[in-house]
Amino acid sequence: MYVVKYVLCFIAVVFIPAVSSAKPALDSRRTVELKSICGMQHPDDYPHDIVGTAALITEFPWLARIRYKTEGDDYEESYCNGALISPRHVLTAAHCNFNDSIITSVRLGEYHIHNKTDCVHYRDINAKECSDYKDFEVESITTHPDYDGQPDGINNVAVIELKKDVTKYNDYIRAICLPNAKVVRPKVNENLAVTGWGWQISSTTYDVLEVKQSLNIKIESEETCNKKENPADERKTLQKNQLCGSRIATASDVCIYEDGGPVMFSYKHRWFVEGIALSHDKNCIGTSPPLIYLKIADYVDWIYKTMGITIE
């Protein structure tokens, strides 16, 4: 349960690269939004008590659920997550573009997976806030040209283009920032955040959670990652541009590390993508393997080019 104690407003200033549209996919108003208000979320405006792993309804408003349809089925399912990085683009893992299922839409603003409208009541201030999720049809998906086709392979990154722009950012739907040279990124032994819906561990099963969750992970060194992945030998298991983190011990029995989802850090009151989650196993208990992610800083130029944007 979250309790709002008081409201504190601030203005944060951080360098975001100036961008200009190289094609009409994003008009000038959209690129202004892209560089001016990405990575900002309402919960950072006020302190709040954190109990458990459930996220606030307005936390991580860039989190996207990728929707699929399999031939012969008349319904959609969600297998991967992603992150909104512009009014028209979602960042995810390349291996989330399955051969046997078609990506049909991206859902933004979802909190409870079974509710169209989600509301949270704040008893201390007698207030309520509500949000409806929105589904956006997919125009195309572009995978990195050097992706090797393996779920744990190299260059495992893709950009989804939506058919229509997100016309207006709000507290529930907005883009996260991509890193740049002037942003101080976390180092080994520092923390990153992950978000998703995840699983609850019971005595014999993993049960899908219905409400958006969040957890912190600790960045591990490459040497530690390889030892945790293959403790019995000296093989190198991390691929090019991959790093890993370990789950920080808590009293929670929740697993959160869904394919394609954002691995994030906060810098000067803005959130940035550090990586894309690649560990698809429910590996959050015992002597589990590390949580592997693709380091996005090495792909920013390709991502902007795919979006049709040049950095000035």
Band (183; pLDDT cuts 50, 70, 90) = very high
Of the pLDDT bands very low, low, confident and very high (cuts 50, 70, 90), residue 302 is very high
Q: Whole-number mean pLDDT of the chain?
A: 81
Please say if the pLDDT value at position 23 is more than 80. no
The answer on pLDDT for 54 being more than 80 is: no
Range scoring the smallest mean pLDDT among 133-137, 188-192, 206-210, 277-281: 277-281
Q: Is residue 128 part of a domain?
A: no
pLDDT tens digits, 79-112: 899 999 999 999 999 999 988 899 999 999 999 9
Domain count, the chain: 1
Q: What is the pLDDT of residue 46?
A: 55
Residue 38 maps to a domain? no
Higher pLDDT, 22 or 169: 169
pLDDT of 62:
97
In a domain, 306, yes or no: no
Residues with Cβ within 8 Å of 188's Cβ and at least 6 positions away in sequence, in order, are 219, 220, 221
- Summarised one tens digit per residue, pLDDT across range 204-263 is 677 778 889 888 889 999 888 887 655 544 445 788 899 988 887 665 667 777 899 999
Residue 283: band (very low, low, confident or very high) from pLDDT cuts 50, 70, 90: low
CA distance 276 to 292: 9
pLDDT at position 306: 96
Domain containing 287 equals 191-299
**56 pLDDT exceeds 60?**
yes
Indicate which CATH number applies to the domain containing 210.
Answer: 2.40.10.10
Mean pLDDT, range 150-155, rounded to an integer: 87
The pLDDT of 135-151, averaged and rounded, is 95
| H/E element, 226 | helix 222-229
107 lies in some domain: no
Distances (CA, A) of 306 to 6, 83, 145, 164, 169: 42, 15, 11, 17, 22
Comparison of pLDDT for 106 and 21, the residue scoring more: 106
Cα dist. 300→32, 131, 228 in Å?
18, 31, 28
Query: Is 17 part of a structural domain of the chain?
Result: no
The span from the CA of 132 to the CA of 117, in Å, is 4
Any domain includes 228: yes
Q: Given this model, what pLDDT does residue 304 score?
A: 94
Burial of 129 per CB tally in 10 Å (0-12, 13-18, 19+): middle
CB 100 within 8 A of CB 79: no
pLDDT over 70 at 290, yes or no: yes
Residue 168 lies in a domain: no
Residue 224: enclosing H or E segment and its boundaries? helix 222-229
Residue 129 has pLDDT above 90, yes or no: no
